[in-house]
Amino acid sequence: MKDEILDLSVIIPCYNEEGVLEQNVLKIKELLDDTIWRYEIILVDDFSGDRTVEIARRLAGSDKHIRLICHSSNMGRGKTVEDGIRDARGKIAGFLDIDLQVPAHYILPLCIELENGADVATAFRVYKMQISILDRYIASKVYRLIFTVLLRTGIKDPETGYKFFNREKILPVLDEIKDKYWFWDTEVMVRSYLRGYKIKEMKTLCMRDESNKTTVKLFRDSIRHLKNIIRFKKEVDQIRKGRSK
């Protein structure tokens, strides 16, 4: 069973998710049980400090479709996703944020895009506007604008936490990624673009649940993202220059 090739691997990066983990994993499982796909759900815990691992172990122990990987130290969101993809058995492998701000049902059309020939299929988040998330909405729009101007890829929403891949195609891209934290998302998209991969972005509704606490620190992470994108632009320009010769 361990070496069986599956149709789909859904990776759930986990960090202090005790409040939503069980109910939302069961929502994903119920959705996938209604498909013909052979699937697995891989929970990857990044050294949580709450009951996340306890809940994840119980889920994995009670269902053959669910597996658990645990980090022995906090290694970053990108590294957490990456470890799940590398360990996956699905021809399609991808991840989504377990808060389900972008609902689980979008897994199905994104995976169908991959079955129809896309190499990467991701959510392009359309926000249901709430005053309480206005700051995050503005920050996201500003980042997308900077990304568009500096990197010129045509990708609309690089940092979405809802991405699915042709696993065989994405493995060599993972070897190139340098950032193992939140900028991982931008790197995986741009490096896929530079390889000429077929990328499909699908509009999806995104609505913040105010009962869930985010691990993103808006000002700090915005500054870090800006520094990362300026650094990364130099590498992208060198890659493009080398290919134009």
Please give the Cα distance from 133 to 225 (Å, whole number): 19
Domain that holds residue 167: 6-244
Closest CA to 94 of 35, 162, 26: 162
Sequence letter at residue 217: K
Sequence letter at residue 103: P
Q: pLDDT, tens digit, for every residue of 121-148?
A: 999 998 875 544 556 667 777 888 899 9
Single pTM value for the model:
0.91
Per residue of the chain (245 residues), give pLDDT as tens.
Answer: 567 899 999 999 999 999 999 999 999 999 999 999 999 999 999 999 999 999 999 999 999 999 999 999 999 999 999 999 999 999 999 999 999 999 999 999 999 999 999 999 999 998 875 544 556 667 777 888 899 999 999 999 999 999 999 999 999 999 999 999 999 999 999 999 999 999 999 999 998 765 555 555 555 666 788 889 999 999 999 999 998 76
For Cα atoms 214, 220, 225, give the angle at the middle one, nearest 5 degrees.
95
pLDDT at residue 80, as a whole number: 98
Please give the Cα distance from 43 to 17 (Å, whole number): 11
pLDDT at residue 139, as a whole number: 73
Secondary structure (3-state) at 214: coil
82 domain residue, yes or no = yes
Closest CA to 85 of 11, 31, 142, 193: 11
pLDDT at residue 141, as a whole number: 79
pLDDT at residue 128, as a whole number: 72
Please give the Cα distance from 41 to 39 (Å, whole number): 7
Q: pLDDT, tens digit, for every residue of 18-48?
A: 999 999 999 999 999 999 999 999 999 999 9
Rg (CA), the chain: 17
- List the CATH number of the domain containing 218: 3.90.550.10
Please give the Cα distance from 193 to 182 (Å, whole number): 18
pLDDT at residue 132, as a whole number: 47
77 domain residue, yes or no = yes
- Please tell me the total count of domains within the chain: 1
pLDDT at residue 226, as a whole number: 84
1 domain residue, yes or no = no
pLDDT at residue 67, as a whole number: 98
pLDDT at residue 210, as a whole number: 55
Secondary structure (3-state) at 149: helix
